Chains A and B, each alone.
Chain A
Amino acid sequence: MEARHVYKTYGSKSDKEPKKADTNTCVDTKSVIEAVKDVSLQIRKGDIKLIFGPSGSGKSTFLRCMAMLDIPDKGEIYLGDECLVEPGVDLNKARARIGFVFQHIYLFRHLTALGNVELALRQVFKLPKDEARKRALDALTEVKVTDCINKYPSQMSGGQAQRVGIARALARNPDIILLDEPTSALDPELTGEVIDTLRDLAREGTTMLIVSHEMPFAREVAEEMIFYDEGTIVETGPPSLFFNAPNTDRAKKFMTRIINRTTREEMNV
């Protein structure tokens, strides 16, 4: 999968972007948010790449553009050989091949865990009932949430719900899974179980592009880390580069802040 020179801006009236400007008093200082500015990124089968950077820098928007959940203003998104921004491309088919895990989970609230995972298999892939059920159960087993198969999202813990979210993306064997800060909306004691699940996926060679600030995890599984700030990729390299000596000042500063925070948290435990 590849993104080539992708741009995405939001007008001030956009209802999709949370209105950050409205929360402070100077509303009109920046009416257009350039969330993605000329971003190119390639991810091959089996790759695990991790995007990190300050909040509000446009990482999530870029990820949504990759999944064509937001349509880029400019630039190309390739899934295999297919260019997804061309007119006439069946985006629903393309999205079915891309798994997406949301920061705020977004499970279908009216369906059980099993129903959530089954839905795409039944309605998009048109699998017969038994086979859909079997594959959904396999996916739920893989993320270790067999105990809440028949529970509704409201009856699960955040960690369980997010693992169901991962199972929902996983069950249809997508070409790639995009994960948008899968742990950042969870209570600290629940992030571990989700990270463990991701670690398992990494071990199995799942292709993943993850937005995350879980640094120990990143160090362990990521082939490449991408520092993203102000709508663009600032620096790219293996984890060792970022953990030792990033080239850019901005990355250096950000890493110092993150690592201080992480060690503080570990000492508190």
Chain B
Amino acid sequence: MLDVWQQLIILLEGVPLTLSISIISFFIGMAVGLPLAFIRVYEKEVSFVVDAYEKIFRGVPEIVLLLLFYFGIGSYFPSTFGNAFFVAAFVLGLRSGANQSQIFRGAIRGVGDEQMIAGMSIGLSKWRAIWHIMVPQVFNFSTAGLGSEYALLIKDSAYVYVIGLAELMKRAIEVKYSANDVVTPFVLSALIYIAITFPIAFWLDRWGNRRKKKIGL
């Protein structure tokens, strides 16, 4: 029998993996979602490609994508998709990119087309205006959405136990067997999930509000 403290320690050892998967996929999602949002708004001719991508990654359950990429595609490309951590970051990152693209699209509307027109009026090209004028302001309008996206990623990271990564969820299941206790490990992991989700979401929101205050929004 494992006592509560022993269980807690085993679970906590999974936190670094849970956090690194979530944070890495959050930034992959940003690197993908931000340019895609601008493509959807300002390059209407190719936005159907973005639309298809968003539909696939928002429409198919993560767990299906994880299994597909790890066991399916991974058997053809074992050096990349055979790596569980890579697949986890890849799938969660691209799924988050589809969401973040929508978050940023709303934020672009919030910044307003007139900022873009003003940028063009001084001689900036479309993409330079996007880079110098829209991108810095887009974050002011997206921190709330990004905060909840991060919370979503922490929760989604629980799915990666299906490809064998020993993160928090996987450990909770194992502790359940070895401790022969179906309540404590899940209560503990629930508390740990809450503890690692909200401080960062809260901090993001506060950072956004400060930025907004600075520029008077």
Residues of A whose CB lies within 8 Å of any CB of B are 16, 67, 69, 92-93, 95-98, 100, 102, 104, 106-110, 119-120, 123-124, 152-155, 168-169, 172
Q: Secondary structure of the B side of the interface? A: helix
A120 CA / B121 CA spacing, docked (Å):
10
Query: Which residues of B from 64 to 114 have beta carbons under 8 Å from A?
Result: 113-114
Contact of B117 with A69 in the complex, beta carbons under 8 Å: yes
Q: Kindly state whether residue B119 has any CB partner on chain A within 8 Å.
A: yes
Q: Kindly state whether residue B195 has any CB partner on chain A within 8 Å.
A: no
Chain B residues in 8 Å Cβ range of A109: 115, 137, 215-217
Partner of B124, one of A16, A92, A102, A169: A92
Chain A residues in 8 Å Cβ range of B125: 92
Contact of B117 with A95 in the complex, beta carbons under 8 Å: no
Query: Which residues of B from 177 to 217 have beta carbons under 8 Å from A?
Result: 214-217
Contact of B118 with A123 in the complex, beta carbons under 8 Å: no
A54 CA / B140 CA spacing, docked (Å):
38
A110 CA / B217 CA spacing, docked (Å):
10
8 residue pairs bridging A and B, Cβ less than 8 Å apart: A69-B120, A95-B122, A98-B121, A109-B115, A120-B123, A120-B124, A123-B124, A152-B215
Contact of A92 with B118 in the complex, beta carbons under 8 Å: no
Chain A's closest residue to B139 (CB) is A110
Chain B residues in 8 Å Cβ range of A106: 114-115, 117-118
Chain B residues in 8 Å Cβ range of A119: 122, 124, 132
Q: Given A152-B214, A153-B216 in contact, is the A110-B137 Cβ separation under 8 Å?
A: yes
Contact of A124 with B133 in the complex, beta carbons under 8 Å: no
Contact of B122 with A120 in the complex, beta carbons under 8 Å: yes
Chain A residues in 8 Å Cβ range of B118: 102, 106-108
Q: Kindly state whether residue B136 has any CB partner on chain A within 8 Å.
A: yes
A110 CA / B212 CA spacing, docked (Å):
9
Query: Closest 9 CB pairs between A and B?
Result: A154-B216, A96-B123, A106-B118, A120-B122, A100-B121, A124-B123, A92-B125, A95-B123, A110-B136
Q: Kindly state whether residue B55 has any CB partner on chain A within 8 Å.
A: no
Chain B's closest residue to A90 (CB) is B125
Q: How many residues of chain B get a CB closer than 8 Å to chain A's CBs? A: 22
A169 CA / B121 CA spacing, docked (Å):
9
- A-B Cβ contacts below 8 A, count: 68
Query: Which residues of B from 124 to 145 have beta carbons under 8 Å from A?
Result: 124-125, 128, 132-133, 136-137, 140
Min CB gap A105→B, angstroms:
9
Contact of B115 with A95 in the complex, beta carbons under 8 Å: no
Min CB gap A211→B, angstroms:
15
A168 CA / B136 CA spacing, docked (Å):
19
Chain B residues in 8 Å Cβ range of A96: 122-123
Chain B residues in 8 Å Cβ range of A168: 122
Min CB gap B108→A, angstroms:
13
Q: Given A104-B114, A108-B118, A152-B214 in contact, is the A93-B137 Cβ separation under 8 Å?
A: no
A120 CA / B119 CA spacing, docked (Å):
9
Partner of A95, one of B120, B132, B140: B120
Chain A's closest residue to B213 (CB) is A154
Per-residue interface assignment for chain B, residues 149 to 165, with 1 indicating a CB less than 8 Å from any chain A CB and 0 otherwise: 00000000000000000
Contact of B122 with A124 in the complex, beta carbons under 8 Å: yes
Chain A's closest residue to B118 (CB) is A106
Chain A residues in 8 Å Cβ range of B124: 92, 119-120, 123-124
Min CB gap B141→A, angstroms:
11
Min CB gap A117→B, angstroms:
10
Chain A residues in 8 Å Cβ range of B140: 110
Partner of A108, one of B123, B133, B214, B217: B133
Chain B residues in 8 Å Cβ range of A172: 122-123
Min CB gap A194→B, angstroms:
17
Contact of A123 with B128 in the complex, beta carbons under 8 Å: yes
Partner of A155, one of B115, B122, B216: B216
Looking at B113, B118, B136, the one whose CB has the most chain A CB atoms below 10 A away is B118
Looking at B123, B133, B136, B214, the one whose CB has the most chain A CB atoms below 10 A away is B123
Chain A's closest residue to B125 (CB) is A92
- Contacts A168-B122, A169-B122 aside, 8 further interface pairs with beta carbons under 8 A come to A95-B122, A102-B121, A106-B115, A106-B118, A107-B118, A120-B124, A124-B122, A152-B214
Partner of B119, one of A104, A108, A153, A155: A108
A97 CA / B121 CA spacing, docked (Å):
10
Q: Given A108-B119, A120-B124, A123-B128 in contact, is the A154-B114 Cβ separation under 8 Å?
A: no
